[in-house]
Amino acid sequence: MTATTAQEIDSAIAALRLGEIEWSRTPLRGRRELLEQIHTATAECAREWVETAAAIKGLDADSPLLGEEWVSGPYSLLTGAAALAESLAALEGGGSPVDGYRMREAPGNRTAVDVFPASGFDRLLLNGFSAQVWSKPGVDAATVRARAGLGQRTPERTDGIAVVLGAGNIFSIAPLDVLYQLYADNRVVVLKLNPITDPLLPVFEKIFAPAIARGFVRIVTGGADIGTALVHHPDVESVHMTGSALTHDAIVFGAGADGARRKAARKPLLDKPITSELGGVSPSIVVPGRWSRADLRFQAEHLATQRLHNNGYNCVAAQVAVISGDWPQKQQFLDELRAAMNRAPARTAYYPGSAQRVAAARAEYPEAQKLGAHGERTLVTGLAPIKSEPALHTEYFAPVLGVIEIPGAAAEFLAEAVRVCNDEFEGTLGANIIAHPRTMKSLGADFDTAVATLRYGTVAINAWTGLGYLTARASWGAFPGHSIHDVQSGIGVVHNALLIADPERTVVRGPFRPSPRSVLRGEFTLSPKPPWFVTNRTGATTLRRLTDFARNPRVSALPGIFASALRG
């Protein structure tokens, strides 16, 4: 595959300049129809997309882990395009995208929008799961409604050309970021693929063919030199990137010692706005309680999934579990966690630098345990809850999981765990809380306070924050307030298909137990073991069928999805 040249960059930018004029003249109906065309093309390319992704990641054709590629690939783009199309239809009709969605008060004088479930199908397919988008403090429901729509409230006022620097880990990130620039920010877009994803170029060109034909989108390949040329091109107005804080700083300030000096002097090289979705060290807080043996096993698999999904190559992968040192079941839980990490299927370390990052973690923590069939996974216990602890400020982006112990029973433990996560961890992208329903009930307002106090862009309760990524109408990004000088997990949000202005966070909730145990123990939720669990035996089949359902939602498809899910 030939990399893009400087001449091709100029040609792409020139085409987008003309395309911006066409975009400004495209009414809401035409923009909605474009989304519908992209939806159709995504469905047509779904199998090719997954097969290409499997080849990149070294997954066998019969691996249950292929489910990860179905759900974090074409499924995410299908649901994102469909949800955006519904928002544009609401605006076409003179309404707001949030019309019909319940809004309620959230702690701290915030407004919460119930964004999931959004339909009866959602309630059936992910029964017991929910998601809310919270406003910033002081924003009332009327303001949320009035401002929802972002750039599509004034579609004729376009905002230039944006460069999107695509990610190399989750393959729907780049196309979803393109849609967000087009619709939320009302910009035409040049997407520079991460070299890992270059084999997907033909797929993405087919998916975005209607937008490419009209000059709204261009897709290019190449290395860092191409990315640099794009972001500094005089006709480019803004930049969006996904990656690490180190990559962000190299783009904004330059690389090496010169870049470090510019950052210290607060003199960026980049003279245009940049938004970003970056990583960090994501925590999972395990609140002590009285759990059954089945609860211990299930939640250990849950935590293992939070770390080992995509082999740990996720910006929001849980890197450190925070547990109570006084929990009587602590050792049982850790034993189940080791067993779950051992049971998870072996996989290829496809992401560049993975082996070196694992080796660095083991050199830092020589007492770490090697887990997995080939000792490819690492568990580090006994971490200190202080900022100087390397595992709290180094994003390993690999199958490395640490454990911190904090003293106390549920109430005092949770309050201190939240403080530690806020003050000592690097990054603010996502935090998980695992807690028994009985414990949450006993904590009452203290539990709600803990959720509101966590400074993270997505907070998941008895669910993984990755579900927030998969929920099209949820916002996705760091907790607001970062700047280019201390970027942490990034600036701005993506996804957010209701086009809610300046959301603060997404809060996701799930059932503590899978069905049928949930029903027998009084939770009354019907979801079995989630198909995204790395230990789910039928994940590939279930999530392939769910992707087909996203192509064409229909009652007749439900029995097949349920049957596969129950066998997981």
The answer to whether 326 and 556 are in contact (CB under 8 A) is: no
**pLDDT at residue 2, as a whole number:** 58
DSSP letter for 290, please.
Answer: -
The answer to whether 248 and 241 are in contact (CB under 8 A) is: yes
Tokens found for residue 554: 């229909």
The answer to whether 243 and 478 are in contact (CB under 8 A) is: no
Locate all alpha helices (DSSP H) within 239-329, ordered by sequence: 245-253, 256-264, 293-308
Three-state secondary structure call for residue 454: coil
Distance, CA of 9 to CA of 218 (rounded, Å): 10
**pLDDT at residue 6, as a whole number:** 83
Three-state secondary structure call for residue 548: helix
User: Phi first, then psi: what are they for 425, rounded to 5°?
Assistant: -90, 150
List strands edge to edge, sheet with 377-383. Answer: 103-106, 110-116, 130-134, 505-509, 458-461, 430-434, 282-286, 318-324, 400-406, 377-383, 369-371
The answer to whether 59 and 66 are in contact (CB under 8 A) is: yes
List domains and CATH numbers for the chain: 6-97+148-243 (3.40.605.10), 282-504 (3.40.309.10)
SS3 content of the chain, % helix, strand, coil (to 5): 45, 15, 35
- For residue 407, give every residue at least 6 positions away whose Cβ sits within 8 Å of its Cβ, in sequence order, or none: 324, 325, 326, 413
Q: Strand pairing partners for 242? A: 277
Sequential pLDDT tens for the chain (568 residues): 456 788 899 999 999 999 999 999 999 999 999 999 999 999 999 999 999 999 999 999 999 999 999 999 999 999 999 999 999 999 999 999 999 999 999 999 999 999 999 999 999 999 999 999 999 999 999 999 999 999 999 999 999 999 999 999 999 999 999 999 999 999 999 999 999 999 999 999 999 999 999 999 999 999 999 999 999 999 999 999 999 999 999 999 999 999 999 999 999 999 999 999 999 999 999 999 999 999 999 999 999 999 999 999 999 999 999 999 999 999 999 999 999 999 999 999 999 999 999 999 999 999 999 999 999 999 999 999 998 999 999 999 999 999 999 999 999 999 999 999 999 999 999 999 999 999 999 999 999 999 999 999 999 999 999 999 999 999 999 999 999 999 999 999 999 999 999 999 999 999 999 999 988 888 888 999 999 999 999 999 999 999 999 999 999 999 999 999 999 9
Question: Mind giving me the DSSP string for 143-168?
Answer: HHHHHTTGGGGSTTS---EEEEE--S
Distance, CA of 169 to CA of 197 (rounded, Å): 8
**pLDDT at residue 547, as a whole number:** 98
Q: Are strands 430-434 and 400-406 parallel, antiparallel or unpaired?
A: unpaired
Tokens found for residue 46: 């779904």
DSSP letter for 291, please.
Answer: -
Distance, CA of 411 to CA of 450 (rounded, Å): 10
Largest CA distance in the chain: 66
563 φ/ψ sector (left φ>0, alpha ψ -120 to 50, else beta): alpha
* Residue 290: Cβ within 10 Å count: 11
Distance, CA of 506 to CA of 459 (rounded, Å): 6
**pLDDT at residue 297, as a whole number:** 98
Q: How many helices (H) and strands (E) does the chain have?
A: 23, 19
